[in-house]
Amino acid sequence: MTTDIKTVQLFVTCLIDKFFPETGLAVVDILEALGLTVEFPLAQTCCGQPAFNAGFWDDARAMARYTIDVLAQSDAPIIIPSGSCGDMIIHHYVDLLANDPHYAAPAQAVSTRTYEFTQFLVDVLGVTDLHSTATGCVAYHASCHGLRGLGLKTQPHRLLKQVAGLEPKELPGSEECCGFGGLFAVKMSQISGAILQRKLDNIEASGADMVVGTDVSCLMHIAGGLRRRGSAINVKHIADILRER
């Protein structure tokens, strides 16, 4: 490791907290195996993105201020195993609170020390080989906010490439949206469902037996679609793969 970072703060995201606790534990495992101390502020909840995307910006601001306060308990780099929540905290907090006399500066400070998980590993720590092993053919789905919001073009691929026993499969339309879009999936479910079918067709055509991504939100959407189809293809967060040694 080339940095002097000793401690990191984990913002685990509400979905991993409530639906995928194992993924959160995998992230902790990986960071600790790299010699880092992981802090987890227990008061953390949700970053507020659902309200922001729905246009309820006063509600989103309240949640942003709350999260900034929670994260202000330490100055350590903040690690988020989600490109979408990462994009929210890194970009949209600053925008939402730009005119807030008390929170504009803290929002900027939090933004500066926040990293998506794979971005932190590859770009900050300079680590790609975690000595992980796995079996199977894997297709990578690039979640939109990580890809286009945070520029996660290569980092997840570089990490997956080092996993022994994993055979990468080309996913056609890998960078196309899965149709999730948060509340969009509920409010305009027929469009969301149609976009999802295209993604599922591509996944099935790829020949992979496992889909991997950086965001459990999209992965939960894809997994729900695959399950409805009766497909046996597994869906995993990248941390779940990288943890296996």
The length of the chain is 245
**CB nearer another protein, residue 135 or residue 189:** 189
CB of 213 closer than 8 Å to CB of 139: no
Q: Which DSSP category does 202 fall into?
A: H
Q: Biggest alpha carbon distance in the chain?
A: 53
CB of 15 to another protein, least distance (A): 10
Q: Rounded to whole angstroms, how far apart are CA atoms 90 and 84?
A: 10
CB of 136 closer than 8 Å to CB of 232: no
**CB nearer another protein, residue 129 or residue 201:** 201
**CB nearer another protein, residue 168 or residue 224:** 224
**CB nearer another protein, residue 24 or residue 213:** 24
CB of 31 to another protein, least distance (A): 13
CB of 176 to another protein, least distance (A): 6
Note the helical H segments in 34-82.
49-54, 57-71
Who contacts 129 (Cβ-Cβ below 8 Å, separation ≥6)? 162
CB of 2 to another protein, least distance (A): 28
**CB nearer another protein, residue 75 or residue 95:** 95
Q: What Å distances lie between residue 71 and 4, 40, 137, CA to CA?
A: 20, 9, 38
End-to-end CA distance of the chain: 19
- Residue that has been written with the tokens 């802090």 in this structure: 39
CB of 166 to another protein, least distance (A): 24
**CB nearer another protein, residue 43 or residue 164:** 43
Enumerate binding residues for another protein (CB under 8 A). 12, 16-22, 24-25, 40, 42-46, 48, 50-57, 59, 62-63, 66, 144-145, 147-149, 176-177, 179-196, 198, 220-221, 223-225, 227-228
Containing 46, the helix (H) or strand (E) segment is none
CB of 170 to another protein, least distance (A): 16
**CB nearer another protein, residue 62 or residue 164:** 62
Nearest to 145 by CA among 99, 98, 91, 109: 91
CB of 235 to another protein, least distance (A): 10
Q: Rounded to whole angstroms, how far apart are CA atoms 185 and 239?
A: 25
